[in-house]
Structure 1
Amino acid sequence: MSALLPAEPVGLSNCDQEPIHIPGRIQSHGVLLAFAADGRLHHRSRNAEALLGAAAPRLGQALADTCFATDAALHGLVQECLATEPGEAQPVAIEVALAGRRFELIGHRLGAQLLLELELLGAEAALLLADDAFKGHKALVRLKRQRTVEDLLAVAVQEVRALTGFDRVMAYRFRHDDSGDVVAEARDAALEPLAGRRYPASDIPAQARRLYLLNTLRTIVDVGSAAVPIEALQADAAPLDLSHSVLRSVSPVHIEYLSNMGVAASMSISIVVQGRLWGMLACHHMRPRHVPYRVRSACDVLAHVLAADVQTALARASSQRLAAAAGLRARAIETLLHAEDGVLALLREADGLIGMFEAQGLVLAERGRALAAVGVPAEAARELLPFLATQATDSTGILARDTQDGMPPALRDALGPWCGLLALRFSEAADGWLVLLRKEQVETIAWGGRPDKEYSHGPLGPRLTPRGSFDVWKETVRGRCVPWSETDLEIARPLLSELARASAARGADLDRARSHLLALLSAGVDGAVPEPADPQPAGGRMQRLVAQVLDAARVRGGTGLDLQRAPVDLAQLVHAVVDEVEAAQPALRCVREVPRSLVVQGHAARLRQLLVCLVGNAARHGAVDEAVVVQLRVEGEAVVLDVSNVAPEIAAPLLSALFDPFQPGAAGLGSSADGLRLGLYIARQIARAHGGELEYAYAEPYVVFTFRLPA
């Protein structure tokens, strides 16, 4: 009697429910025998007599009456299997001769049952078994010398190919969504390269992944051979669980996939890291190929060592990344604490921050306005801010998203391929945001090999080819980026904490400076206030704020700015200031219309202070995707400097307070680089102390500040 599973058609719509652990069939190059707890043969493959002849046990025959009990070598293996705990599935194996043929006998416990499988050894087996121990040892030694994941996988594919002789050996690395990349490959030169290709998770259904964890090595000797049914003693017997079987037959969907690729034999070895299917070594051959069990076991051991080394390398890489992030974080915080232009100073570290988070873009924002966008369209940066204002961050102030789902249509249109964001809200008072962005996955991978290659198609169509598989993968990840990892968040948390502290420290500096200013003004400032030797000292930010306060107090007290003039090359001074601003803000574009030299009578440090104010304000308040324009020229008896940026016109009620922070309307002007709104006030006083003037005008779409002084 036989108990076979019904041959129901399996296609793409139901392959993930296919019971591949109980297929009811085995591959044709071996024989399967299953003895039940009562010691009788309850299951055997239908080809038992064809391969074993008279040595084949009959269904219902007692184990004690078979050659497996009477032959000393066979009896020893059986006893070793029976001595193991029922839950232990590790097989034992020996080479035996039956019916004039050489077999490898592999046995293991299956609950209370004993499962014996005999694989027929062909002529090529001797070649593969020659020096297999030496070759396996050599492979392990080479593997242990590698330090990075990439090097480990590169060596692993080379050594597995040397051990097995397969035409191609590939290393897959699975991703967060169980899609996989071919990250290393050793192949015959005549085969097309597959390294770099991405495959969707559906290429390895969930039940197959579970089996790859239970049975870490699978082989298909001949893709084109017919599977052999398993017969049962009782017609109503439950299907035999072949999860740990070495002969288990293969899903027809997988067979078609391999056939479409022109593969005739394959082997796969799981790379299991911390209980998870992290990757796989996949072997292909263009002709049927049987690799002996002993050689396969050596490859399996290699994969276990590889997995341990991968785990070590991953931990080392994560530690190195965290250490590098700590160094960059320290530089960024130092910049934020001491730079004149505050949050915009973080742009000096923009490339480092983007790389640190393995992102592709960055947005800096404050008080509801995008100050800078690196790699990201300005429109996307502008649309992003209202959305951020409506989103809840986690308890640490971090918002992490890897999809555009739930975003407003206008934002999705503006973002285009930008799907992931890691937003750090480092200042509630100033609504300060540092946002890292990632593109959707299809924008950030490379298609390896020849994507235009034609593949043969089976009954299930072009989906079961590398090209079709990749096309399906693309459709599943549209609008999604690679999610932010735990390491990303480990980097983000201390960065956010320190950014918040630095922002609060800057706010405290401003509060002290305001108090100092109010105290000076309340006391009535006179000529006793000292003139700073350099109004832009190289010291800390607090010193610069105090210098601004003293300047403002002196002007308000009627003392004014008494300047010692000398010849100054204003053109060279303009170039120097613009160079500094561009260096501090790599994403900024400046257009210069400045002569090589233009000498005026003036105070170099004070003129530089005026230029820093004008160019810095233009960089801060201009549209993030537009250039700052700096023009210097002679007009008759005057030298004229225009600094222009694209921005909305300043409303008429605010104009009276533009150059005077002490006017009631000054609060409506928004943020300023110094936080005290003293910059333009002092800049105008510097212009007037030189006998000139500083004025504002709007020439749509440009805000223009013009500095005139006598030639």
Structure 2
Amino acid sequence: MTLTESVNLDNCDREPIHVPGHIQSHGALLAFDAALRLAACSDNAERMLGFALPALGADLDAPQFAAWPHVTQAIGDFAQRSHGTSGLAERSEVQVGGRVFDLILHFNGRLVVAEFEERQPADREIRPFTTLANGALGRLRLQRTIDDLLQVAVTEIRSLTGFDRVMAYRFRHDASGDIVAEDCRPDVEPFLHRRYPAGDIPAQARRLYVINTLRFIADVGAAPVPVHTAGAEPLDMSWATLRSVSPIHIEYLTNMGVAASMSVSIVIGGELWGMIACHHLTPMVVPYGKRMACDVLAQLLASNVQTLLAADHAKRIEAASSVRVQLMETFVGGDGLLAALRPHAAALCTTFAADALVASEGTETFVHGGVSAAAGAELLRWLRSSKPPEGLLAMSEQAKLPPVLSAALAPWCGILALQMDDNRHDWLVLLRPEQVETVAWGGRPEKVYKAGPHGMRLTPRGSFDVWRETVRGIAVPWSATELEIARGLQAELHRAGGARRAQVARDRDQMLAVLGHDLRNPLQTIAMASQLLARGADSATVGPRITRSSTHMARLVSDLLDLSRLQGGLGLAVEPKPADLARLVREAAQDVTLGHPGVEVAVEAPPQLQVPVDAARVRQLLDNLLGNARQHGEAGRPIVMRLEASATQVTLSVANHAPPIPPESRDRLFDAYKPASLNNSRNPGGMGLGLYIACEIARGHGGTLVYEYHEPFVVFVVTLPREARAAAAGEA
């Protein structure tokens, strides 16, 4: 790209900076093809090397090279050793006409490129530079934090090279860079803590910084030297040390007042993680040996940074694994996903460095950490309709949310959503609030078109004074470690959910088989009673049989309908209205004693207790608890019902004499399908749904049902709020 060519947003990131056709003036360049024929040379090669070169296309054994045997030997030997490996480089010291040069050889994928940099008399001895680098390496090894590593690196590189300013950049997820460490001359303006936009380093420059980790510019104002080639194809200088500088970058450095610069890449995992940037206010040639010492130092720096990052990654993965194991144990042995999530919500937020959590299971929703129930519901509706790929969504910008959701969710805009079931209905969402931040940019970060020194073009910033901007609507982005943890958790939830669904399916099949058997008996009784009535049998004798059998069938069918609603995610229909809970308790107790002579129920309750409840559902809950106590309590011992009230809640307990329930059975007390409840001799006509439905009724009122043991009593305790509050209102 020439100085006069227009540079715009369409071609700035595509400027072919790896084939500039020029080199910097402090060195000379020759290139040879596979047959060791001269394929390219810089315009200054003859003058700098002090002898006439043969024409392009001449062999390395041409007469003009005869007086240069040690140089041609080095080039020929390197050509054999390189084996066509792009980027492979070697350095040697050569003498040409009494002058000492650093000969830097590399293979660019097609040609052997030889670069010559004359070594000044003061720089002839390389050993002190190596010794100085070794001292810096030792100081680097002593550091235990990334910030300390970077600060030591900039101090040592400035001491080694003599630059006026040396800075360490650390790049963010959006490729912008923060200056996190600096060492500079006292009279030079410090740039520490400023941020520079991603556009300061275009994509193609980033690629070169990764494959060629050290970039040196000796004199920003020097005229570039043309490179002549034997063919039409330009010389690829991706790995060259003398590659000339883009006109845009020249303007950039000039606007900063920089006359010489050097950058050393910090590459981790094949990505440009950071950079050491060096500035000098006057032209300066840094000898190749010193530059290589800096490059070695940067490689050790990158290795140490990678070690610290890996240690932090391993620590977080280990902590996350512990939380995941505990969650899975609770999930597998518990009553549904939300029941498992509740005790681990705070730990999950800590694991993901999140401030809030939203989760859904069927029609029920759980929120934790300050996000509102309404915002959680709106977020879940959007997730179910948007269907993110692979069931995972990570975002951190409020502007990317639909306006309605953005308004409902504010100030939450960091979203990490994990789909937890195959139909993408159930979700676990971690949330972060916006991070209001004042950014100290090194000048305005936006690129603008204006007339520059070479015509109308996209001119780099003319001022690098601090330009402050308050950034809103952006949360701290989710890191690669957090996304890895999220995928692992999602996979575990899918596996555990699949295993749970398979077990539920097996239990359901078993229950349906028992149901078929249990329905057959009352149907046979009704059929036989009908035949007896047809033959003139006494209705007073036959009628009660029909009534008992039909009541038994009705209870089985009612339980199945409730189960179907709950398993389908519809929930139980609960309509709280003011009712006398004390009267409901006494009526339930009386019905048990009338229906089962010999069973005693003792009631301790106030004369009246007005509570907003669904009377029919509460009566169903009481019947299930009393039936459970009657079937499993010791014969001849009374059932004790106790009703108490406080300012905020009422407590109802149903106790029967019995040994404690074994631990292995407690985990599944409130499950829908319990194999131990089927074909139970203590309850031959039941399917084990009573406690499950009773628990759901309590939850439907915004309350709880728990098991306790107070010797010699097995006790089931129901708590209900004094104010009408369905579970959906508290958690959806």
In the superposition, the TM-score normalised over structure 1's length comes to 0.64
Which amino acid in structure 2 is aligned with residue 354 of structure 1? C
Deviation at 1:316, TM superposition (A): 2.8
Deviation at 1:47, TM superposition (A): 2.8
**Matched-pair contact (CA < 8 Å) for 1:40–1:62:** yes
| Number of matched pairs | 576
Other-structure match for 1:709: none
Deviation at 1:291, TM superposition (A): 1.6
Once structures 1 and 2 are overlaid, which stretch shifts more, 41-50 or 264-273?
41-50
1:242 correspondence with 2:240: no
Alpha-carbon distance change, 373 to 123 in structure 1, aligned in 2, over 3 angstroms: farther
Alpha-carbon distance in structure 2 between the residues aligned to 1:337 and 1:318: 28
**Matched-pair contact (CA < 8 Å) for 2:362–2:425:** yes
1:220 correspondence with 2:217: yes
**Matched-pair contact (CA < 8 Å) for 1:263–1:287:** yes
Other-structure match for 1:164: 161
Other-structure match for 1:210: 207
Alpha-carbon distance in structure 1 between the residues aligned to 2:417 and 2:76: 63
1:120-152 deviations in whole A, cap 9, x for unaligned?
A: 33476469x462222222333344455555554
Which amino acid in structure 2 is aligned with residue 10 of structure 1? V
1:89-128 deviations in whole A, cap 9, x for unaligned?
A: 433323445566543222334556442222233476469x
Choose the corresponding residue for 1:292, options 271, 287, 295.
287
1:304 correspondence with 2:302: no
Other-structure match for 1:447: 439
1:411 correspondence with 2:405: yes
Deviation at 1:436, TM superposition (A): 0.6
1:83 correspondence with 2:80: yes
Deviation at 1:306, TM superposition (A): 3.7
Once structures 1 and 2 are overlaid, which stretch shifts more, 210-219 or 152-161?
152-161
Other-structure match for 2:101: 103
Other-structure match for 2:381: 386
Q: Root-mean-square deviation (CA), in Å?
A: 5.7
Alpha-carbon distance in structure 1 between the residues aligned to 2:336 and 2:7: 65
Name the % identity.
40
Secondary structure of the residue aligned to 2:82 is: coil
1:343-402 deviations in whole A, cap 9, x for unaligned?
A: 48856654542332233442244554654352546653242122133243666x655456
Larger radius of gyration: 2
Alpha-carbon distance in structure 2 between the residues aligned to 1:696 and 1:360: 30
Deviation at 1:422, TM superposition (A): 2.2
Alpha-carbon distance change, 347 to 203 in structure 1, aligned in 2, over 3 angstroms: farther
Other-structure match for 1:117: 115
Other-structure match for 1:650: none
Choose the corresponding residue for 1:94, options 92, 100, 116.
92
Which amino acid in structure 2 is aligned with residue 211 of structure 1? L
**Matched-pair contact (CA < 8 Å) for 1:68–1:78:** no
Deviation at 1:161, TM superposition (A): 3.1
**Matched-pair contact (CA < 8 Å) for 2:432–2:476:** no
Alpha-carbon distance in structure 1 between the residues aligned to 2:237 and 2:272: 20
Other-structure match for 2:23: 26
Alpha-carbon distance in structure 2 between the residues aligned to 1:263 and 1:527: 101
Deviation at 1:219, TM superposition (A): 0.8
Deviation at 1:323, TM superposition (A): 0.7
Alpha-carbon distance change, 365 to 474 in structure 1, aligned in 2, over 3 angstroms: same
Alpha-carbon distance change, 134 to 551 in structure 1, aligned in 2, over 3 angstroms: farther
Deviation at 1:321, TM superposition (A): 0.9
Deviation at 1:248, TM superposition (A): 0.5
Secondary structure of the residue aligned to 1:437 is: strand
1:57 correspondence with 2:49: no
Once structures 1 and 2 are overlaid, which stretch shifts more, 496-505 or 359-368?
496-505
Deviation at 1:342, TM superposition (A): 8.9
Alpha-carbon distance in structure 2 between the residues aligned to 1:259 and 1:384: 50
Other-structure match for 2:490: 493
User: 1:417-436 counterparts in 2 under 5 A?
Assistant: 418-426=412-420, 433-436=427-430
Choose the corresponding residue for 2:254, options 255, 259, 279.
259
Structure 1: give runs of 5+ residues left out of the alignment.
534-545, 578-601, 607-660, 685-693, 704-711
Other-structure match for 1:674: 704
**Matched-pair contact (CA < 8 Å) for 1:105–1:116:** yes
**Matched-pair contact (CA < 8 Å) for 2:698–2:705:** no
User: 1:626-705 counterparts in 2 under 5 A?
Assistant: 670=700, 672-674=702-704, 696=723
Once structures 1 and 2 are overlaid, which stretch shifts more, 223-232 or 401-410?
401-410
1:662-702 deviations in whole A, cap 9, x for unaligned?
A: 999x979946443799x999558xxxxxxxxx96579xxx9
1:276 correspondence with 2:271: yes
Other-structure match for 1:581: none
Secondary structure of the residue aligned to 2:378 is: helix
1:135 correspondence with 2:106: no
**Matched-pair contact (CA < 8 Å) for 2:267–2:302:** yes
Secondary structure of the residue aligned to 1:117 is: strand
Alpha-carbon distance in structure 1 between the residues aligned to 2:692 and 2:133: 82
Secondary structure of the residue aligned to 1:255 is: helix
**Matched-pair contact (CA < 8 Å) for 1:95–1:104:** yes
